[in-house]
A = this chain, B = another copy of it.
Amino acid sequence: MPHKTRVTPRKQPKQDRSKMTVDAILTAAAHILTEDGYDTASTNRIAERAGVSIGSLYQYFPNKEAIMTALRERHIDEMAEIVEAAVNQTAQQPIEVALHELVKACVAAHRIDPTLHQVLDEQVPRLNQSSAEAKIILLLREFLVQRHDRIQVQNLELTVFILERTIESLVHAAVIEHPEFLQENQLEEEMTRLLLSFLIRQV
């Protein structure tokens, strides 16, 4: 459902010191969320932990929701970088190899900060769309398009949707709730098998 609260910055940091202030605020927010959960993450506490004044915080973030949105984007951007690197590195490889590397990259991405990831998912309200997630969708579409000769795709958007949702949800749940499935690459192997048997052209 569309949400109207402004989350774009009140003003953009121009000097190094203000860029560092913004970064300190987001890092402080991440630490508090990770250590004590969303309930304790008041804006006063975030500012104090960042070592800045509450007024500084509100210079760059119009409201608390804007802080959480910026933190979520930063976190997903970091994850997308790992996925993008994997997709680029395996661009010339056959899909069997590339898909396995893709899955492993997603596991690595989720392991950047699994506790923060869990709190962002389970406790922090999600009130607007993420542009960082859209980037991952584009990566996966490119991944499939590069291999259109090997795979059967009738509806590209539907296939991208299935690929992204399946990988994200399995990796997410495994890293956060069932790390035992990740021992000896069990889940990575099964996921690769699941998706290969779905994607590769049946003859």
Copies in the complex: 2
Interface of A is mostly: helix
B170 touches A191 (CB 8 A): no
Q: How far is the CA of A197 from the CA of B197 in the complex (A)?
A: 6
Count of A interface residues, CB-CB < 8 Å: 36
**Contact indicator per residue, chain A 165-186, by CB within 8 Å of chain B (1) or not (0):** 1101110011000100100001
Chain A stretch 113-139: residues in CB contact (< 8 A) with chain B? 115, 118-119, 122-123, 125-127
Chain A stretch 152-167: residues in CB contact (< 8 A) with chain B? 155, 158-159, 161-162, 165-166
Q: How far is the CA of A197 from the CA of B173 in the complex (A)?
A: 22
* A187 at interface by CB-CB < 8 Å: yes
A165 touches B170 (CB 8 A): yes
Chain A interface (Cβ < 8 Å from any Cβ of B): 1, 3, 37-39, 115, 118-119, 122-123, 125-127, 155, 158-159, 161-162, 165-166, 168-170, 173-174, 178, 181, 186-187, 190-191, 193-195, 197-198
